[in-house]
């Protein structure tokens, strides 16, 4: 069953959801929620979906970066983003336990800010501790695009949207991103924006 994705302006996206107990994680209700979120994320399509985005205030998100999503990107763009396919997995009650001091900037979008994208600066690498759907404690060190996805989803679990972190002058519709900015390096875009600001 596909769930409705709530959009920016809904209060649930701006509050910190509660953690799940071990019993809740192992419950049939949570198992069903995970399956519904997986279907919703794939249909959208997206690479991550947090429970608040479907109107449920819980510390739970699903992640999957399918190879088919990479077809619109060149080999150079995939390398620059350090982006590789990610199998479907669930993060519950996650917390970032270490973060790289090196930041990287790329366009980022969100299923709850439909139709738009902007440049967001994120840490190049993070280490995250979380529980999986079997209530097992896991730890992952993520680099590149996976680190970006994790930071984006964990932000959702703190009531934060990417628009809170974006470089406002880079906000664009997805149509214009594809038409105008798709093959422009972020550094070149930044230079053009700086130039237009000083004109």
d(CA 12, CA 22): 23
* Residue 66 phi, psi (nearest 5): -80, 145
Q: Which residues are catalytic?
A: 153
Length of the chain: 199
Q: Can you give 67-80 as a three-state secondary structure string?
A: HHHHCCCCHHHHHH
Extract the tokens encoding 191. 């230079």
Extract the tokens encoding 9. 């302006």
d(CA 57, CA 23): 17
Q: Are 102 and 124 in contact (CB under 8 A)?
A: yes
């Amino acid at each position: 069953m596909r769930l409705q994705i709530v959009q920016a302006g809904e209060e649930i996206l701006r509050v910190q959801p509660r953690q799940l107990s071990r019993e809740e994680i192992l419950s049939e209700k949570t198992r069903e929620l995970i399956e519904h979120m997986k279907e919703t994320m794939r249909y959208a399509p997206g690479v991550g979906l947090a429970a608040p985005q479907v109107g449920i205030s819980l510390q739970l998100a699903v992640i999957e970066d399918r190879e088919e999503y990479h077809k619109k990107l060149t080999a150079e763009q995939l390398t620059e983003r350090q982006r590789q396919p990610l199998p479907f997995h669930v993060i519950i009650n996650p917390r970032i336990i270490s973060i790289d001091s090196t930041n990287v900037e790329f366009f980022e979008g969100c299923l709850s800010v439909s139709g738009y994208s902007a440049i967001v600066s994120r840490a190049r690498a993070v280490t995250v501790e979380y529980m999986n759907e079997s209530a097992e404690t896991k730890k992952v060190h993520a680099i590149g695009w996976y680190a970006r996805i994790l930071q984006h989803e964990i932000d959702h679990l703190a009531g934060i949207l990417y628009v809170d972190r974006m470089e406002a002058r880079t906000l664009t519709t997805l149509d214009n991103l594809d038409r105008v900015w798709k093959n422009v390096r972020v550094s070149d875009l930044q230079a053009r924006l700086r130039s237009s600001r000083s004109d």
